[in-house]
Amino acid sequence: MKQGKAVVVFSGGQDSTTCLFWAKERFEEVVAVTFDYGQRHRLEIECAKEITKELGISHHILDMSLLNQLAPNALTRGTIPVEDGEGGELPSTFVPGRNLLFLSFAGVLAKQIGAKHIVTGVCETDFSGYPDCRDIFIKSLNVTLNLSMDDTFVIETPLMWLNKAQTWELADQLGALEFVREKTLTCYNGIKADGCGECPACKLRKRGLDEYLNSKVES
Ligand SMILES: [Zn+2]
């Protein structure tokens, strides 16, 4: 039986769209929140709008442009190239404290609309050096949010221990594989669905999808 209300932190990408389907299956009411921080590709916001509209999910877009003031980086400044983090260094797409900020604002929204569950697609398995994707950070923030607002929120992280192939598997189990594949944007070059095929995000996405589809054929 579905219970309660959930806020999903939603970017319009593969991971958070899978989380949206996951939440739809579990909660009576699902609300999506997208943070507009001057993304390099405005298409991300458009994808997020289209997806929530198609799924009939109420959608809040919050202005987080101040993040662009604080953290010049490859996702928000067209002049900085996107590079993989090498040798343990953070990739150039890193915005320090981004999940801390996003989840805190999602918490405030959850409080206002009476939602107890906050869903985020963060993942420690493909941990690429983002400290605020780690499970221990999420648990710590969960305690802090509850103390800060004297509430009993639960931060849900359905993808925390999944690799990219398993995230595709989850989408498939939720009956959403084709939807996620066709409607989401992961590509750093702003091409929807299977993307440009060349950038690090596309390569990671394709590797996971191929791995999952191959394992499906074998089994
Ligand atoms: Zn790409």
CATH number of the domain at 184, please: 3.40.50.620
Torsions phi, psi for 10 (to 5 deg): -130, 120
Could you tell me which residues come within 8 angstroms of residue 15 by beta carbon, excluding any fewer than 6 positions away?
121, 123, 159, 167
Strand stretches in 37-160, DSSP E: 58-63, 117-119, 154-156
DSSP 153: -
Query: Is 19 labelled a binding residue?
Result: yes
Average pLDDT estimate for 128-150: 93
* CA 122 to centroid of ligand 1, rounded, Å: 20
Sequence-distant contacts of 24-30: CB under 8 A, at least 24 apart: 24/55, 24/57, 25/174, 26/2, 27/2, 27/3, 27/117, 28/2, 28/3, 28/4, 29/4, 29/5, 29/115, 30/5, 30/6, 30/57
CA–CA separation, 116 and 94 (whole Å): 29
* CA 72 to centroid of ligand 1, rounded, Å: 21
Query: Is 12 labelled a binding residue?
Result: yes
Provide the pLDDT for residue 130.
Answer: 80
Provide the pLDDT for residue 136.
Answer: 95
Provide the pLDDT for residue 72.
Answer: 57
* CA 197 to centroid of ligand 1, rounded, Å: 5
Cβ neighbours around 37 below 10 Å, total? 21
| pLDDT tens, residue by residue, 34-64 | 999 877 678 889 999 999 999 999 999 999 8
Which residues form the domain of 25?
5-218
Residues of the chain with pLDDT > 90, as a percent, come to 69
In this predicted structure, the answer to whether residue 89 has a pLDDT above a threshold of 60 is no
* CA 191 to centroid of ligand 1, rounded, Å: 7
pTM, to two decimals: 0.88
Query: Is 17 labelled a binding residue?
Result: yes
Give the total number of structural domains in the chain. Answer: 1
- Find out whether 39 and 76 touch, Cβ atoms under 8 Å: yes
pLDDT confidence tier of residue 205, bands split at 50, 70 and 90: very high
- Find out whether 145 and 104 touch, Cβ atoms under 8 Å: yes
Structural tokens at position 145: 């949010």
